[in-house]
Structure 1
Amino acid sequence: MPEQRKNPSAWLLAGVAVFATPGAAGAQEAADDASGDIIVTAQRQEQKLQDVPVSVTAFGSDQLRTGTIETMADIATRTPGLSVSAVDPTNTNFAMRGIGSPPGISQNAGGDPSVVVFVDGVYAGRGGTPDLDALDLERIEVLRGPQGTLFGKNAIGGLVQFVSRKPSADNSFFFEGTYGNYDKVGVVARGNMALTDKLFLSAGLSHKQRNGYEFNETTGHDVNDQNLTTGRVALRFVPTDTLDIILRADISHQDQKGNPRHNNCDASFQGGVHCVGINPDPRVVNAYTDGLIKRTIKGYSAEINLDLPFGTLTSLTALREVDFEFETAFFSNPVNPPTQIESTDFGEENSSQFSQELRLAFEAFDGRLSGQTGVYYLKENIDRIQGQIQQFPTPAISGVGLYPQSVNARSFALFGQVDYEIIPSLTATVGARMTWERKSGRFAGFKIDDGPGLPPPLGSVVGYDVTGAKSWKAFTPRFALNWKASDDILLYASVARGYKSGGFQGLSGTAAGASTPYDPEFAWGYEIGAKTDWFDRKLRLNVAAFQTDYSDLQISQLVPLCCVVVSNAAKARIRGAEVEFAVRPAQGLQIDGSYAYLDAKFTEYSIPGQAYTGNRLPRSPKNKFNVGGQYEAPIGDLTAKFRVDYSWVDDAYFEASNIPQQLWPSHDNLDARLSIAGPDEQWELSVWGKNLTDELVPTYVTYFGPFRQILTPYAPPRTYGVTLAFKI
């Protein structure tokens, strides 16, 4: 085991020493401008990455391709402070520096995520993340820490921005075909063309399919497969030098089998009836149904940028619609095949979201004062039906429970932020956002077709049909100071407040629980950092140290034989440090990576019968690091490139109880890619592999203590394939 794993404090001390030198901030290289810096919009304006006084990791289009980055899990392995788990392939749960919404909150109609996703500036609250390939991405940005001023909607833990290329006057066409194990087939086609000298069009189409990663012994089918098609189109009209209009539309459709859980019985309870007949192979399940996942996401937006004598006015209008249907064999046990004990989750959701933002960017006093101000409105309508089926060998104790939910949510905000150059190279930032929100809804829970002896959890459900409504408001300021010590050194310090709105429990065991909202959560984040380049930009090194104090933190807890209960943990404190680096020691060679240390604990948290004060926050590994190497060399008229990425993540827990059965064990990941490209990269042939060590990694764990059941879905096994791409 590397010494850094044995003594993680050595990494932290090294990072502090770098900062004291002074040190710097590094980020992995990506598509960049002429000076070698990727351009980001982490503060809603275009800036070089090294000039942004915010903890942000950016991935340009070249890096996404070279690293075979296809999912948010791939992004997480390369980003300090970011963890990604998933209850199923379409319900991705983020945790940033220890803060994230567990499935008990994010999967019901009345809850919101703590780490949010923006697609071309549009808040994507529900439906999961988009397919990266079809978007024709220019970059992905990951911002860590509370972002409550410029990105106000629930970005209390951080946010992820997907930024696509704008249509332009450059005519181009790109095609990519992939084949891999598990009969993986992928096709991507993208194009851009100038219709006139003022009107430009771009479009893209992606299709991915493969066989399942697991085998269902009961049905004889592969499960956890993939069948996803995504299309997008963008039209840009630039009638004058001062007016720029972009219309965008995209649609994704997914239709595949489900992701039944593997039942790992508690070692102390192997003789129990719930453990009989289970295949110990984690890639084999015993479910009476394969389940299903069907999802359609539609997005439409209109972005207008108008240059005025005193600044630039931006209008962003968007509509997003999501239709989602699922059926998941949550627990299956072949007691006496074909008779089984079954527990199945099912449901469907239809949601629509309308948002409107007006934003003015301005400058004054010969550029010494710059800033942004604006107004934001969001309207969400969510209709969800979720249910559970319990089936036992005796029909008299079988049944079905249903939980219909309908939620209307409104959010309105005024915001602004200004940067003022106090003296040359020393800039102060002051910003604030005032948010008003309201949620109202109708919530029901009842049993149907239930036998007289129906056991918990459905046996404890008392029928109800209730309504609830609640309004909240929040003031979230930000204060920062940054000093450009030299062209290659930026030092900064910031204080920011974050906010996440309250909500309602969609899966409640009682009427009172369904109609009573849980409170918003708030956070104060404190951070110091440095971003630096050394040795004629051959070494880039970035470091940040932070503390975040949370109050009323929203936590979901599984109450045995009842339900999932959402409550507000009183307080939590998070401290940590992050280091990112990139070094180019020789022509064509680059080594990059990051390290994160995280100490995230509840300082006050107890529920009836249980005290969690001092426990670690869910999905908060104490140590995490990744390192990558890339070498590029010419071979005649051709270019060969080899990239390898290794990451390691420390132990964490999926739940606040911190019990061993809820452990997220330490794990590593090894990816590699070898490519050869023709002149000007007009074509490229690559072979690649992901999770080459075939690590078995749970993406979530649900533990039912009374029955000693540990129910687990897993991340993909070793995958590999070949990709051919060409462009004109």
Structure 2
Amino acid sequence: MAASRKALAYGPALLALIGASSALAQASTAPEAAQIEEVVVTAQRRSESLQSVPVTVTAFGADQVQQARIRQIDDVAGLTPGLQFDAFPASQPRISIRGIGSSDRGAAGDPSSAVFLDEIYLGRPAAVAFDAFDVERIEVLKGPQGTLFGRNVVGGAINVVSHRPDLDRFDAAAELTAGNYGRLEGAGVVNAPFADGKAAIRASGAWRTHDGFVKNTFTGGDVEDQDTRTGRLALRVEPREGVRLQASLDGARDRATGPAQHVLDLDASDPSSALWRVDRDRKHTAGSDDGYQDRDTWGVRLQADVDLSFAILTYLGSYRDLDYHAAYDFDGGNPTFNRAGISGGNDEASDFSSHELRLSSLPQSRVRWVAGLYAFNSQTDRRDSLVINLGRPGTEIYTQSAKLQSYAAFGDVTVPVSERVSLIGGLRYSKDDKDYRVDNLAGNTLFRARERFDVAVSDSYKAWTWRAGVDFKPAERHLIYAMASRGFKSGGFQDTPGSAADARDGFEPEFATQYEVGQKSSFLGGTLVWNNTLYVMKYADLQTRRTLPNLSVVTDNAGKATIKGYETYLAWRPFSGARLVASYGYTDARFDEFEPEPGVDYAGNRISRTPKHKLVLSPSYDLLLAGGGDVRFAVDYHYESMIFDDNANDGPERRDPTNFFDARALYTAPGDHWSVSLWGKNLTNEVTRTFQAVFLGANFGAYNPPRTFGVTLNWKH
């Protein structure tokens, strides 16, 4: 009810604010050049100005991606309220949007918040591998996207949009970086039109290396290093008017050690705590080996667009392949350091393909709509191993094989009912068929005999998802909208069950229904943009992970939760050369019903890995030089309040509030052909925990990267 009262009070306040905007605009003396740049997004599967889309979206354009050194998903998360990122290991990211995420990496599980690369769904956590050097923009869509995007978008979506080949001109660019920890990076792109401007090819690539951030005092090696290669080749052909063809091939190769683990805390109530020694030295670890994180992934994408008399017909197809291997020392110690040892690893081979056929309205259509059919297929073979050594090893090895066939039909429409008001509606039907096999034929532990089993199961999951809303434009450059949307994530099966009965006991789908009201406005002649959103989300049957007394980890449906929040975004050019971007998100995510076991009630607890407050401030100033060129000084500050890493909310698995500062000074030469920047990340050398898990009497975890800095030279044709 409190949230409803806030929403009722919100509307009149917005109208009063918008009503005053004309006077503000007349009082402004800011020049036209100081206006906030327009950002075009495809959040509704069509190109639109960000300020006219009735969806909460955080977008990063190409210049911001380059200058702020946004390279991977974790860089995006640091600058986006409502988006959280953590990973163990880092090559298997866990993404959460507005409190909705998933820790299940099993072959028969799915992410709750999804990543799309050029509209292609990346269906496995380890497949989220790309380099942001040659991207046009990155969009973060918050809340259920159940009618338009792929499958299982219950929490939100991250859309990475690459630059497509340019038919009009030859283009080339290069980038070279050197920094501390032996950092060396290079990247380049070439765009070449041919066939009298009817075709173009674009090739881009990057390599990124640095030494390890952590020294292993036992092996003498470095841990948490980087050796990444990425590449993309794209072809665009327009053989005649009204026909557009695109094809692309991309790939990524990662080789890294780590992660660097530590014993962060002890649980004195557990006798097993005597096995461990606390080690909170971020610069060093003492693991019995350095570990490895090896990943190779590639994909092809085909798109064909044909203009019909009444619509645009689009076919979008893809195939992607993933080969992933990781091994790690979980406790971060060795026989001379700890009295026990825990290690593990993951091996995965996945391939997935998708086909989409859709019709969408012509750009000049008064009624804007899209309708289509979608199919997604995947095959995943995975092996998870766990070794617990108390003088003699106890080993568990789970092998999994999962096959998925997913089908959907969808439609979405925006109908103007007057010059100022439009109605929005969308509907999607989804059906997932899963076949799964899991075995534990080599399993034994030192604590409890483990049943050996080989189980094959299958199930089918169906759901209708929808959205309905209205947008109202009370004046030019102002939008007020209200939207209700529902998202769905299919059920699945256990990846590391303790028995055949557990293996057969899958988990059910989860659903989220969001109610949102928002406002987007431009003031002062376009020099000030201010957007606000209030939302309430009802989250049902959410899939959560827990450790059983026999040490196996299973996924259950937790019951119900309510997530309430407020987000605001402000971009302001107060005077020539100056710019301030500020964004803030408040998220109250709590369980309404959750009894993980008899006699234990988590109702009222906060959902794990969800801070209540997140603030991002990015001021910058451009100094024009007398001889031509300019220098930009910029700072990024982001704050997150305390989080719990476990739904119990009562153990050591919590992270204190964090404060991060990044900064850069960028000189651009006259003619805008080359530039050089001095940059630094985590300048105050903030230390925080990025992963935590309580196991056998100790809280094991890892730390964030330390202070890094360097110099980057850019050249463009």
2:398 maps to 1:403:
yes
The alpha-carbon distance between structure 1 residues 474 and 271, as it changes in their structure 2 partners (threshold 3 A), is closer
From 586, 608, 629, the equivalent of 1:597 is 586
From 645, 657, 663, the equivalent of 1:672 is 663
Q: Is the 8 A contact 2:113 2:156 kept in 1?
A: yes
Q: Is the 8 A contact 1:118 1:162 kept in 2?
A: yes
The alpha-carbon distance between structure 1 residues 137 and 14, as it changes in their structure 2 partners (threshold 3 A), is farther
2:522 maps to 1:519:
no
- Which residues of 2 match residues 549-698 of structure 1 at below 5 A? 549-609=538-598, 610-635=600-625, 636-698=627-689
The alpha-carbon distance between structure 1 residues 17 and 400, as it changes in their structure 2 partners (threshold 3 A), is farther
From 424, 429, 432, the equivalent of 1:434 is 429
Instruction: Note the C-alpha offset of 1:368.
Output: 3.1
- Which residues of 2 match residues 471-490 of structure 1 at below 5 A? 471-490=460-479
Structure 2 counterpart of 1:540: 529
Instruction: Note the C-alpha offset of 1:15.
Output: 8.5
Structure 2 counterpart of 1:6: none
Aligned partners of 1:717 and 1:483: how far apart in 2? Answer: 47
- Which residues of 2 match residues 164-243 of structure 1 at below 5 A? 164-169=162-167, 170-196=169-195, 197-243=197-243
Aligned partners of 1:632 and 1:703: how far apart in 2? Answer: 48
Unpaired segments of 5 or more residues in structure 1?
1-10, 26-31
2:412 maps to 1:412:
no
Instruction: Note the C-alpha offset of 1:199.
Output: 1.3
The alpha-carbon distance between structure 1 residues 15 and 581, as it changes in their structure 2 partners (threshold 3 A), is farther
**Structure 2 residue matching 1:549: 3-state secondary structure:** strand
Structure 2 counterpart of 1:28: none
Structure 2 counterpart of 1:702: 693
The alpha-carbon distance between structure 1 residues 349 and 58, as it changes in their structure 2 partners (threshold 3 A), is same
Aligned partners of 2:152 and 2:99: how far apart in 1? Answer: 15
Q: Is the 8 A contact 1:446 1:461 kept in 2?
A: no
**Structure 1 residue matching 2:506: 3-state secondary structure:** coil
Q: Is the 8 A contact 2:131 2:230 kept in 1?
A: no
The alpha-carbon distance between structure 1 residues 512 and 269, as it changes in their structure 2 partners (threshold 3 A), is closer
Q: Is the 8 A contact 2:404 2:435 kept in 1?
A: yes
Instruction: Note the C-alpha offset of 1:332.
Output: 4.2
From 362, 370, 373, the equivalent of 1:372 is 370
Q: Is the 8 A contact 1:278 1:333 kept in 2?
A: no
Q: Deviations over 1:536-563 (max 9, x none)?
A: 0111000000000011111111235512
Aligned partners of 1:438 and 1:557: how far apart in 2? Answer: 25
Instruction: Note the C-alpha offset of 1:697.
Output: 1.7
Structure 1 counterpart of 2:76: 75
- Which residues of 2 match residues 107-126 of structure 1 at below 5 A? 107-126=105-124
Instruction: Note the C-alpha offset of 1:18.
Output: 6.2
The alpha-carbon distance between structure 1 residues 548 and 271, as it changes in their structure 2 partners (threshold 3 A), is closer
Instruction: Note the C-alpha offset of 1:43.
Output: 0.1
Amino acid at match of 1:612: Y
The alpha-carbon distance between structure 1 residues 698 and 537, as it changes in their structure 2 partners (threshold 3 A), is same
Instruction: Note the C-alpha offset of 1:447.
Output: 2.8
Unpaired segments of 5 or more residues in structure 2?
1-5, 22-32
Q: Is the 8 A contact 1:262 1:711 kept in 2?
A: yes
Structure 1 counterpart of 2:28: none
Most deviating of 366-375 and 323-332: 366-375
Structure 2 counterpart of 1:5: none
Structure 2 counterpart of 1:289: 289
Q: Is the 8 A contact 1:133 1:188 kept in 2?
A: no
Q: Deviations over 1:99-127 (max 9, x none)?
A: 1112xx1x111110011000001001112
Q: Is the 8 A contact 1:12 1:577 kept in 2?
A: no
**Structure 2 residue matching 1:73: 3-state secondary structure:** helix
The alpha-carbon distance between structure 1 residues 276 and 266, as it changes in their structure 2 partners (threshold 3 A), is closer
Structure 2 counterpart of 1:29: none
**Structure 1 residue matching 2:706: 3-state secondary structure:** coil
The alpha-carbon distance between structure 1 residues 651 and 152, as it changes in their structure 2 partners (threshold 3 A), is same
The alpha-carbon distance between structure 1 residues 578 and 16, as it changes in their structure 2 partners (threshold 3 A), is farther
The alpha-carbon distance between structure 1 residues 35 and 184, as it changes in their structure 2 partners (threshold 3 A), is closer
- Which residues of 2 match residues 438-453 of structure 1 at below 5 A? 438-447=433-442
2:95 maps to 1:98:
no
Structure 1 counterpart of 2:27: none
The alpha-carbon distance between structure 1 residues 369 and 504, as it changes in their structure 2 partners (threshold 3 A), is same
Instruction: Note the C-alpha offset of 1:40.
Output: 0.5
- Which residues of 2 match residues 17-166 of structure 1 at below 5 A? 19=14, 21-22=16-17, 36-102=37-103, 105=104, 107-126=105-124, 127-134=126-133, 136-166=134-164
The alpha-carbon distance between structure 1 residues 631 and 440, as it changes in their structure 2 partners (threshold 3 A), is same
Structure 2 counterpart of 1:255: 255
| TM-score, reference length from structure 1 | 0.92
Aligned partners of 2:699 and 2:348: how far apart in 1? Answer: 27
Structure 1 counterpart of 2:353: 354
Q: Is the 8 A contact 1:408 1:440 kept in 2?
A: yes
Q: Is the 8 A contact 2:263 2:277 kept in 1?
A: no
Amino acid at match of 1:111: G
Aligned partners of 1:359 and 1:271: how far apart in 2? Answer: 60
Q: Is the 8 A contact 2:618 2:635 kept in 1?
A: yes
**Structure 1 residue matching 2:64: 3-state secondary structure:** helix
Q: Is the 8 A contact 2:266 2:278 kept in 1?
A: no
Instruction: Note the C-alpha offset of 1:194.
Output: 0.8
Instruction: Note the C-alpha offset of 1:384.
Output: 0.4
Amino acid at match of 1:466: V
Amino acid at match of 1:696: V
**Structure 2 residue matching 1:701: 3-state secondary structure:** strand
Structure 2 counterpart of 1:424: 419
Q: Deviations over 1:405-438 (max 9, x none)?
A: 0000111000001111111121001110001111
Q: Deviations over 1:499-534 (max 9, x none)?
A: 001111111111111122100001111000000000
Amino acid at match of 1:133: A
Q: Is the 8 A contact 1:78 1:593 kept in 2?
A: no
| TM-score, reference length from structure 2 | 0.93
Aligned partners of 1:544 and 1:182: how far apart in 2? Answer: 41
Structure 1 counterpart of 2:379: 381
Amino acid at match of 1:161: N
Aligned partners of 1:198 and 1:715: how far apart in 2? Answer: 48
Instruction: Note the C-alpha offset of 1:399.
Output: 2.6
Amino acid at match of 2:82: G
The alpha-carbon distance between structure 1 residues 349 and 723, as it changes in their structure 2 partners (threshold 3 A), is same
Q: Deviations over 1:585-622 (max 9, x none)?
A: 01111001111111110000002242111100111111
Amino acid at match of 1:709: A
The alpha-carbon distance between structure 1 residues 620 and 18, as it changes in their structure 2 partners (threshold 3 A), is farther
Most deviating of 408-417 and 507-516: 507-516
**Structure 2 residue matching 1:218: 3-state secondary structure:** coil
Q: Is the 8 A contact 1:23 1:541 kept in 2?
A: no
The alpha-carbon distance between structure 1 residues 702 and 324, as it changes in their structure 2 partners (threshold 3 A), is same
Instruction: Note the C-alpha offset of 1:71.
Output: 2.5
